């Protein structure tokens, strides 16, 4: 798996992706519209289907801080956020990510890439989220995850007008950029994921793409 992923990361071949799409049902559409109304500075069109789709321009890498893909899956399944007091005040829409990368580098797609998903303050309306299972000192991200993320970034950059690749811990570097939209100047969180070392390793495999963000 590792050698295969490394060659894909460098060659630009599509990495193996398993589709296991979560429902983007009426409740999620409605909660997403409410979230966007509360947070986006640009006006919405009023058509929910259109307002919950996007043209991806940024890729944000994350870690789940949990040990298993199953626990991440369970966290992301419901449309409504549970038990995250620091986030609930900013909206009831659940957090999620478009892709989940397991510790062996296997990639699962959870949402269509042009659907808006809540995973990063200020950028959800144009950012694809990639969650990596594990993280921190307990479950350091793996070499297979580095290679899978690089292969995924390369593939996504060929499918969408991606200009930026950032780690979640770097998102505030885009404050002031036209991409960044957040009505509430006090709504900011400090994130450790996925860490500078991981971003350096992923970026080293995709330097030729010329993505900004570091
Ligand atoms: Zn994150």
| Res 141: pLDDT | 98
Do residues 142 and 36 lie in contact, with contact meaning Cβ atoms separated by under 8 Å?
Answer: no
Task: Compute, in angstroms, the gap from residue 41 CA to the centroid of ligand 1.
Answer: 22
Per the CB < 8 A criterion, the answer to whether 122 and 19 are in contact is: no
Looking at residue 12, what is its pLDDT? 65
Q: What is the pLDDT of residue 4?
A: 73
109 closest CA partner among 167, 83, 148: 148
Query: From the CA of 2, how far away is ligand 1's center (Å)?
Result: 24
Whether residue 163 is contained in a domain is answered as yes
- CA 112/CA 98 separation, integer angstroms: 7
Find the 190 Cα to ligand 1 centroid distance in Å.
10
CB count within 10 Å of CB 182 equals 18
Q: How many Å apart are CA 187 and CA 87, to the nearest integer?
A: 9
Rounded distance between C-alpha atoms, residue 117 and residue 110, angstroms: 10
Please give the residue range of the domain that contains residue 180. 2-209
- Say how many Å lie between the CA of residue 64 and the centre of ligand 1: 7
Upstream peptide bond of 153 is cis (omega within 30 degrees of 0): no
Residue 13's pLDDT is what?
A: 72
End-to-end CA separation in angstroms for the chain: 28
In angstroms, what is the span from residue 87 Cα to ligand 1's centroid? Answer: 13
User: Can you give the CATH number for the domain in which 122 is found?
Assistant: 3.40.80.10
Outline where 40-176 has alpha helix (H). Answer: 48-51, 69-77, 85-88, 143-159
Is there a domain that residue 65 lies in? yes
Residue with tokens 């950028």: 123
Q: What is the pLDDT of residue 192?
A: 96
Distance from the CA of 58 to the center of ligand 1, in angstroms?
14
- Residues sharing a CB contact under 8 Å with residue 47, sequence separation 6 or more, in sequence order: none
Q: Is residue 138 part of a domain?
A: yes
Could you tell me the distance, in angstroms and rounded to a whole number, from the CA of residue 14 to the centre of ligand 1? Answer: 24
pLDDT of residue 1: 52
Query: Does residue 187 form part of some domain?
Result: yes
Residue 58: beta bridge partners? 127, 164
- What backbone torsions phi and psi does residue 80 show, to the nearest 5 degrees? -105, 140
How many structural domains are present in the chain? 1
- Residue 178 in any domain: the answer is yes
Mean pLDDT in order along the chain per 10 residues (214 residues)? 69 86 94 96 95 98 96 92 77 95 98 97 98 96 97 96 98 97 94 97 97 91
The reply to whether 214 falls in a domain is: no
The pLDDT of residue 90 is 81
Alpha carbon of 51 to ligand 1 centroid (Å): 23
Question: Given this model, what pLDDT does residue 183 score?
Answer: 96
């Amino acid at each position: 798996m590792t050698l295969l992923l490394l060659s894909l990361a460098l060659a630009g071949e599509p990495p193996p992706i398993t589709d296991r799409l979560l429902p983007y049902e009426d409740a999620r559409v409605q909660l997403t519209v409410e979230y966007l109304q509360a947070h986006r500075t640009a006006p919405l069109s009023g058509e929910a289907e259109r307002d919950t789709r996007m043209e991806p321009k940024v890729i944000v890498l994350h870690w789940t801080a949990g040990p298993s893909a199953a626990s991440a899956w369970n966290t992301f399944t419901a449309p409504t956020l549970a038990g995250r007091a620091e986030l609930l005040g900013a909206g009831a829409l659940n957090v999620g990510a478009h892709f989940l990368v397991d510790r062996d580098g296997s990639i699962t797609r959870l949402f269509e890439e042009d659907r808006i998903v809540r995973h990063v303050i200020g950028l959800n309306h144009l950012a694809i989220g990639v969650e990596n299972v594990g993280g921190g000192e307990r479950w350091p991200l793996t070499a297979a995850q580095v290679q899978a993320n690089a292969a995924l970034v390369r593939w996504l950059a060929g499918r969408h007008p991606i200009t930026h690749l950032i780690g979640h811990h770097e998102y505030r570097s885009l404050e002031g950029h036209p991409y960044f939209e957040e009505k509430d100047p006090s709504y900011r969180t400090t994130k450790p994921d996925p860490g500078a070392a991981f971003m350096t390793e992923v970026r080293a495999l995709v330097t030729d793409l010329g993505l900004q963000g570091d």
